[in-house]
């Protein structure tokens, strides 16, 4: 009986050892697999344009004489560039004389390269003006008590545009429309004062001639009479 118990105990310990060994092997295997497993992380590097790949293209500018040059480099570039490139550009307009008409060169330097552009200085264009060298004023005849118009076309002989009329000043302060007479008015235009006349007249009453109008004669032939005609003949004297 004792031998059987001992055999059972030995067998039990043996099985327990085998089980522990098997468990240890499985754990080691799992741990080994976990260690070997890796995570692949890819970090993309930001693409930075190669400084050697940038090629500048400059504008040819045309300005009027005495017009200041821009100090903004972007105003001279014909192709847009990044802010990084823009910050490293150097503008040189020292050879441009804006006070004299002509064609000049300017430069922009970048990455040990120098690019050239043109600045054309031209004469200032005269703004078109609807001005006339002189004007001619009219003489106005109006009746007593008639209000004066302020429309300049009634006072100036030449045809006027709205632009020209806007530069004129009409002065009618010396004209008294309630008193007959000849008065002067003025128009100031193009730094000159022009003078015209306004004649105030009153209505004249109808004058009687004292001659009675002849009554119409009858068309009846029986009532017609032939007037006596006396011819006086004058004999010339010797």
Residue 199 near residue 143 (C-beta atoms within 8 A) = no
Any domain includes 216:
no
CATH of the domain at 84: 2.60.40.10
In total, how many domains does the chain have?
3
Residue 185 near residue 198 (C-beta atoms within 8 A) = yes
In this structure, are 118 and 80 located in the same domain? yes
CA distance 139 to 156: 9
Residue 58 near residue 117 (C-beta atoms within 8 A) = yes
Any domain includes 181:
yes
Any domain includes 195:
yes
Any domain includes 6:
yes
In this structure, are 161 and 194 located in the same domain? yes
In this structure, are 74 and 108 located in the same domain? yes
Any domain includes 13:
yes
The greatest distance separating any two alpha carbons of the chain, rounded to the nearest whole angstrom, comes to 219
Residue with tokens 């040819």: 60
- Angle of CA points 104, 109, 111, to nearest 5°: 160
**Full residue range of the structural domain in which residue 22 is found:** 1-32
Going residue by residue through the chain (238 aa), what tens digit of pLDDT does each one get?
555 656 665 656 666 666 666 666 565 555 555 544 555 544 444 444 455 568 899 999 999 999 999 999 999 999 999 999 999 999 999 999 999 999 999 999 998 899 999 999 999 886 655 677 899 999 999 999 999 999 999 999 999 999 999 999 999 999 999 999 999 999 999 989 999 999 999 875 544 444 444 555 544 444 444 444 333 333 344 4
Any domain includes 41:
no
Any domain includes 146:
yes
C-alpha pair distances (Å), 201 with each of 84, 147, 181, 186: 84, 13, 7, 20
Beta strand extents in the chain (DSSP E only):
61-64, 90-92, 102-110, 113-122, 140-143, 169-171, 181-189, 192-201
Q: Looking at residue 55, what is its pLDDT?
A: 87
Q: In what order do the strands lie in the sheet with 90-92?
A: 61-64, 113-122, 102-110, 90-92
In this structure, are 62 and 117 located in the same domain? yes
Any domain includes 210:
no
In this structure, are 144 and 192 located in the same domain? yes
Helix, strand or coil, per DSSP, at residue 183: strand
CA distance 29 to 38: 16
In this structure, are 66 and 18 located in the same domain? no
């Amino acid at each position: 009986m004792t031998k059987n118990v001992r055999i059972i105990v030995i067998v039990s310990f043996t099985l327990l050892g085998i089980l522990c060994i098997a468990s240890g092997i499985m754990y080691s295997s799992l741990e080994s697999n976990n260690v070997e497993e890796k995570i692949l992380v890819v970090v993309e590097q930001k693409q930075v344009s190669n400084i050697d790949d940038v090629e500048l293209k400059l504008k040819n500018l045309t300005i009027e004489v005495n017009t200041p040059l821009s100090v903004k480099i972007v105003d001279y570039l014909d192709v847009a560039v990044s802010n990084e490139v823009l910050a490293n550009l150097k503008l040189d307009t020292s050879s441009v004389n804006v006070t004299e008409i002509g064609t000049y060169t300017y430069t922009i330097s970048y990455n040990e390269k120098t690019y050239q552009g043109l600045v054309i200085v031209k004469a200032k264009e005269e703004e078109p003006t609807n001005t006339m060298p002189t004007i001619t004023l009219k003489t106005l005849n109006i009746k007593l008590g008639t209000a004066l118009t302020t429309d300049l076309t009634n006072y100036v002989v030449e045809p006027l545009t709205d632009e020209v009329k806007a530069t004129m000043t009409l002065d009618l302060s010396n004209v008294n429309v309630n008193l007959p007479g000849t008065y002067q008015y003025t128009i100031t235009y193009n730094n000159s004062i022009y003078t015209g006349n306004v004649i105030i007249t009153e209505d004249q009453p109808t004058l009687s001639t004292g001659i009675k109008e002849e009554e119409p004669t009858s068309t009846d032939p029986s009532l017609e009479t032939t007037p006596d005609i006396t011819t006086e003949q004058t004999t010339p004297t010797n």
